[in-house]
Amino acid sequence: MGIFQYLCCMENFRIKAYTKMDLALLYSPHSGGAAALQNLYRWMLRCRPLMEELDGLGYNKYRHSFLKQEVAVIVKYLGEP
């Protein structure tokens, strides 16, 4: 993906439910799927306020997707992908 395509994708980011893999790839588009997911999890775990707020929403680490509310919290702390 070229820089122009990457920037166009970022302008269209919406707060909605995403699979964990899809959101991870938005944050790390040049990484493979597993590496992107590990990076996202690492960033999330290092941000205690983010994890506390997600826990308050009932975040389930085993669920396949992030809910819309969880995505909003992630973007609040990590910024838009």
Task: Write out pLDDT tens, residues 4-49.
Answer: 444 445 567 899 999 999 999 999 999 998 999 999 999 999 999 9
- Retrieve residue 65's tokens: 């997707």
Q: What is the pLDDT of residue 12?
A: 77
Find out whether 60 and 32 touch, Cβ atoms under 8 Å.
no
Q: 3-state class of 60 per DSSP? A: coil
pTM for this prediction: 0.84
| Residue 52 one-letter amino acid | E
